[in-house]
Amino acid sequence: MSGTAKSDSGRQILGILGGMGPEATADFFRKVVDATPAAKDQDHIHILVNCDPSIPDRTENILGRGPDPLPALIEAGKRLAAAGATVGAIPCMTAHHWMDALRAALPFPFLSAFEELGRRIRSDYPQAKRIGVLATTGSIRAGLYEKHLTDWRIHFPDEEAQTRFVMEAVYGKHGIKAGNRGDEPRRLLREAGNRLVARGADLLVAGCTEIPLALKPGDFEVPVLDPMQVLARAAVDYCRGGRA
């Protein structure tokens, strides 16, 4: 994350670069609000949201089947900058593949969900050795987890489970991106997650912003971390002056 800036009022303004997908963006906004220790409206942080669902699919691009989303991501970031954002967050794990380019192209710093996730695991789960990740195929192919979570052994679903369970739960006809949060995507994700636990994962990461929308507390016998919840808390801390 590069240097910091503040608005003319001296307050930090969080810019959410969203739309990937819209429901995940709305859920992240709610997580930021819930993470804020506030007794009245004025205790909350200033938030700007650019929810642009026209940004090309990140997984499709990484797999070589779709256009580069970076120009649209930069354009969305410029809109946030023009509106006064002083720090950014992206409620899409796969879009972090372009984080370095966004940080270089835009005038405000970005908080990284991967960097914040690593901090949280070190502080709250020091005994964790093996991390099971439920994520899109794009995030997996991009090597984002191995790049950022180097202190742990990372387990992904095998190819069959990734296609039949994880990607179907997110992208399928009855998947989360189609507006379904019910039993079907939850069943698929539980099957994939339990297979990772059986292989030795002592911590699971809900590594796609849509996945926590379907899972429920207690779905697994090991802890499950939601990177977006971690990022939301970090954003609130940053904007309230708790982070340099």
70-to-19, 28, 157 alpha-carbon distances in Å: 14, 21, 28
- Marked catalytic residue, from 13, 92, 176, 215: 92
Catalytic status, residue 239: no
Q: Measure the CA–CA gap between 95 and 110, rounded to whole angstroms.
A: 12
Find out whether 193 and 221 touch, Cβ atoms under 8 Å. Answer: no
- Marked catalytic residue, from 89, 142, 208, 231: 208
H or E segment to which residue 96 belongs: none
Find out whether 218 and 21 touch, Cβ atoms under 8 Å. Answer: no
Residue that has been written with the tokens 């580069």 in this structure: 68
CA dihedral over 152, 153, 158, 161, signed as positive or negative: negative
- Active site amino acids: 92, 208
